[in-house]
Structure 1
Amino acid sequence: MRRRKYHIRLGKLMAFILVIIALCGALVYAAASIYRYVSMKSDTGTAETASAPDYYLLVGINNDPVPSAETVIVCSVDRKTKHLELISVPASTSSGLGIDAKNQITVGEAYRKGGVIETKSCIENLMHIRINHFIIFNEKTFNEAMNHFGNINLYVEQEMMHNKGDGTADFHLYTGYQTLDANGAMAYVRYMDPEQDEIARIQRQQRFMKTCLLQMQQHYAVTNWEMVRHYWAPYYSNVTYKEAASLAYDITGFPAENIQFAILPGEMENKDKNTKVWVVNPIEMQKTIASTMN
């Protein structure tokens, strides 16, 4: 009788131990599954965050008493993939802001209306992106930057000349290979041909920027870092000299094939007899923006 009770108790004890082992196993398996899930989500989230580009808004303004933007460029910088894309936005681009289609202001006029805040908001609404950094240059600060950067060797594809209001020569560039100083560089990027072809000017600006970047990459990264750190002085910016120096250091190491240029897709249309506006192609624009998120 005792032996039978002993076996019964032993059987119950073994069953209890097996249940405990099974529960422990289930808990361990569940914990491992949760850990793997959290790790995968964490890795995925980190990868997505790391691969998201930073957007910088570069704006060149004129010397009018109330200036407007003549050059607008959205720079997409992806430090993880070492990819840089510069998207030029024609200043005549219709912003979509206004009481009706005929009275919409252009991107260039947005700066005159509300400065960089209005311009940044205009570009964000137009391109559906978030811009956290902006850099504003005028003629004076551009010339100062070029004086520190050095002369640029560039082929000038056509004769370029412009006279001031009093009839005296403002600048005159001849066709052919030239070494452009700060004044020559400013003349090259701001020249507008007699047909007032804004897209042709943007293409020249992109050639100029490409040449500058290639020339910069011939220097050591630390040299570019040091130069920008000491001479960073835009007209107005929320990018500190330390941030600008770090950006110059990183871009120095970007492969040349990863530096790309684009113009915001669209076409020029007549707003009235005397005014043309750049009307964005929304589908092609999204393709261009998507290319910055590789």
Structure 2
Amino acid sequence: MSEGNFNRQDKSVKKQKSIRNPNSNSKNTPNWLLMGFGLSAIAVISSAMGAFLALSLSNTPLRQARLTPSEEAVFNQEETLTFDSLQIPKLSRPVNILVLGIKVTTDDVPHLVHEDLGYHALVNSFEGLSDSMLLLRFDPDKDYVTVLSIPRDTQTFVRGRGITKINDANALGGPALAAEAVSHLLNDVPIDRYIRINVQGVEKFIDALGGVNLYVPQNMKYTDHSQHLYIDLKQGEQHLDGNKALQFLRFRYDAYGDIGRVQRQQSFMRALIEQALSPRTILKMPDILSVVRSHIDTNLTTNELIAMAGFTAQKNRSNINMVMLPGDFNAPEEGELSYWLPNHRRIREVVAQHFDTSLDYYATSTNLDPSNLRIAVQTTEENQDTAQEMVDYLRSHGYRRSFVTRQFTTQPLLKTKIVAQQGDNFSAARVRADLGVGEVIVESTGVLNSDITIKLGQDWHNVNFDRIPDNSFKTISY
């Protein structure tokens, strides 16, 4: 889709920081002593959690499907773990995990015997289309986690079917064929393991965690009697239990369809990671997994699960990247299928930066011309004048393709978010340096046709506008 076409559509629609206790006497307690105590405590707690999990999970069967030797060969067999002095498993190398969210109803698996309920009921099965697809990378070498969201309507080649939607792969050949299709789409990125979870498992998992706090960006209402799907969520800060979380994750009935849903899923995952991976929650993980284990199928070992949970629990927001597969909507004729068309050039860049392929992205990215970056400035409908001030400021600093988007936000922000929409955190960091405010976040929750989306916060008022020259460029709102 061209920039102009999308803009018309737009109209219609840390390094770890220490926390100081104001009541503490910092003069009497050296910082290095506090840091040493904190790190020691973390090490002891992590070791205890790891040992507890190892004992508790050792008899938890999570594998539901048996792969043939040829299917097993699709997944990288190289060792993933090492063990510390307390025999707690640690990741020894980067690991790529394919996660498939499966929604199966009675009409999807007619060969199974079902009670006739008069509607398409959910079935505890892994045989259907993948309703969502993620590729996770846990990278101990670079100390980050990457989540690549792959829209289910992505057009790609699936062996045995040809050019089709990528969500067909699991239904046609299970996790091995799905992994093969994803690897092919991503220029032969190796895939080490897989996890399949169906929607019933997601609901039970959220309930077992005690729910999740999330800002719902819009009113969501949809009814489908044929599936007994009833979505009714109000805009604003919400505490979502399992049922409401499923409503949020399954809603796709707006201008962007499944792509908008992918963006909301990233917001949900961010909130879930930040709230769920606490020491208290990790200690509850054996009980949580016992609740959902019949809804999960994976070839991960118990020790690998422990290692990945421990690795992720130590990450802050800046060490967790979320990217959506670059692409564009197609324009189907009547009766034709709608697809998400992959942008293969941008996919190569994302894969090079976040999945360590041979393309030297790091060398080329440092010479990017800022005038080529498409920067969308996003804020509330009532705050457009301030957004225009930021655009003028950006254009005065060489970012000539900056624009005010009319895809408004509804959540007021204290701190400006500089969203690397296409996964390019190098350019986002450069923008942040020129602004002097804000927080860089790698995720695809911004404006789709932008390289970077700046979600305006109150800290923008701290910028010295006297630095804007008189010959700043005139800007256009899209």
Q: Shorter-chain TM-score category?
A: 0.7 to 0.9
1:150 aligns with 2:210: yes
User: What corresponds to 1:96 in structure 2?
Assistant: 157
User: What corresponds to 2:238 in structure 1?
Assistant: 178
Which residue of 251, 257, 261 maps to 1:197? 257
Measured after TM superposition, the shift of residue 205 of structure 1 is 0.1
1:284 aligns with 2:341: no
Measured after TM superposition, the shift of residue 168 of structure 1 is 6.4
Amino acid at match of 1:83: Y
Paired residue secondary structure (1:276):
coil
Measured after TM superposition, the shift of residue 158 of structure 1 is 1.1
Assess if the C-alpha contact under 8 Å between 1:110 and 1:119 holds in 2: yes
Assess if the C-alpha contact under 8 Å between 1:71 and 1:90 holds in 2: yes
Which residue of 91, 94, 98 maps to 1:53? 94
Compared CA separation, residues 195 and 98, structure 1 to 2 (3 A): farther
User: What corresponds to 1:247 in structure 2?
Assistant: 308
Cα distance in 1, alignment partners of residues 316 and 256 from structure 2: 35
Cα offsets for 1:203-259 (capped at 9, x unmatched): 000000000111134x22xx4443334433242111234422331111110232010
Cα distance in 1, alignment partners of residues 302 and 323 from structure 2: 27
Cα distance in 2, alignment partners of residues 160 and 199 from structure 1: 16
Compared CA separation, residues 79 and 171, structure 1 to 2 (3 A): same
Assess if the C-alpha contact under 8 Å between 1:224 and 1:245 holds in 2: no
Measured after TM superposition, the shift of residue 56 of structure 1 is 0.5
Measured after TM superposition, the shift of residue 114 of structure 1 is 1.3
Measured after TM superposition, the shift of residue 193 of structure 1 is 1.4
Compared CA separation, residues 104 and 167, structure 1 to 2 (3 A): closer
Which residue of 162, 165, 168 maps to 2:222? 162
Cα distance in 2, alignment partners of residues 51 and 289 from structure 1: 21
RMSD: 2.3
Which residue of 329, 335, 359 maps to 1:268? 329
Compared CA separation, residues 169 and 266, structure 1 to 2 (3 A): closer
TM-score, normalised with respect to structure 1: 0.75
Compared CA separation, residues 169 and 278, structure 1 to 2 (3 A): closer
Structure 1: unaligned runs, 5 residues or longer: 1-49
User: What corresponds to 1:212 in structure 2?
Assistant: 272
User: What corresponds to 1:9 in structure 2?
Assistant: none
Cα offsets for 1:70-107 (capped at 9, x unmatched): 1000011102332001000011111123799xx61111
User: Where do 1:100-119 residues align within 5 Å?
Assistant: 104-119=163-178
Paired residue secondary structure (1:146):
helix
Cα distance in 1, alignment partners of residues 328 and 284 from structure 2: 39
Q: Percent identity?
A: 22
Cα distance in 2, alignment partners of residues 99 and 237 from structure 1: 23
Higher relative contact order (CA 8 A, sep 6+): 1
Cα distance in 1, alignment partners of residues 260 and 315 from structure 2: 27
Which 10-residue stretch deviates more, 80-89 or 265-274?
A: 265-274
Cα distance in 2, alignment partners of residues 183 and 195 from structure 1: 24
Assess if the C-alpha contact under 8 Å between 2:231 and 2:251 holds in 1: no
Measured after TM superposition, the shift of residue 271 of structure 1 is 4.7
Assess if the C-alpha contact under 8 Å between 1:56 and 1:75 holds in 2: yes
Assess if the C-alpha contact under 8 Å between 1:57 and 1:135 holds in 2: yes
User: What corresponds to 2:18 in structure 1?
Assistant: none
Cα offsets for 1:175-201 (capped at 9, x unmatched): 111110011111101111144611110
Cα distance in 1, alignment partners of residues 138 and 199 from structure 2: 25
Cα distance in 1, alignment partners of residues 233 and 323 from structure 2: 26
Amino acid at match of 1:145: F
TM-score, normalised with respect to structure 2: 0.47
Cα distance in 2, alignment partners of residues 52 and 165 from structure 1: 47
Bigger helix fraction: 1
Instruction: Flag the structure with larger Rg.
Output: 1
Cα distance in 2, alignment partners of residues 194 and 176 from structure 1: 17
Paired residue secondary structure (1:290):
helix
Compared CA separation, residues 137 and 180, structure 1 to 2 (3 A): same
1:122 aligns with 2:181: yes
